[in-house]
Structure formats: C-alpha cells, structure tokens
Amino acid sequence: MYAKIRWLLVESRGALVRSKILLLLRERPTNINRIAKELGIDYKTAKHHLGLLEKNGLVKRLGVGYGDVYYIEDNAYKHWDELRKLIEESLRRYGDGATP
C-alpha cells in the first residue's frame, strides 16, 4: 500500500497537485470549485485528482453533486505523519516551497 501511495503523491505526473490538495483538505473540508480556485487549476483537473485520491482511500466525498465536499479520510489522518513526509518530498522534488 505504501508504494502505491508514494507513487500517487511523489513519483507520478500530477503528484504535486495531489499533495497540495491534501494540504488544503487538512486545513478544512471543501469542494472541487474552491480547490481549483485556490490551486489555480481548472475544475476538471481538480475533479480528476480528487477522484484518484478518493479511489486510493485518502479522501472521502460528502454529497453526490456539484457542491460535494471532500475531506481527508479517517485512516489517512491516522497516518498523517507518513503522508506528510511524502508530501514534503513531493514539494521538494517539484520545487514548491510550501510547508505541510
């Protein structure tokens, strides 16, 4: 499981966006539109990355429509220290100085 999450957050194309999404959701649950706006990406891109995070058990969605709210899954919170290390690696690798 670790290898899959590492690939998702560090080694794959889009890893930086997914890492930043997790950081935003760590602050507070939010919807796709707000995530897209805060990260400067389009709605479809945010939706795609949230879908990958949801499929891999890192986030959950509350609702079934346009205003769905996403939040970090309970099990991901339990392993936040490990996730934070992967996020930090992603931020370093792709040159973003944000602090998780």
As a whole number, mean pLDDT of residues 17-42 equals 97
pLDDT at residue 96 in the model: 63
Give the contacts of 29 (CB within 8 A, at least 6 positions apart): 62, 69, 70, 71
Per-domain residue ranges of the chain = 2-93
pLDDT at residue 15 in the model: 97
Residue 60 has pLDDT above 70, yes or no: yes
The answer to whether residues 10 and 89 touch, using CB atoms and an 8 Å cutoff, is yes
Encoded tokens for 61: 């969605």
pLDDT at residue 58 in the model: 98
User: What dotted CATH number matches 2-93?
Assistant: 1.10.10.10
pTM of the model as a whole: 0.91
pLDDT at residue 99 in the model: 46
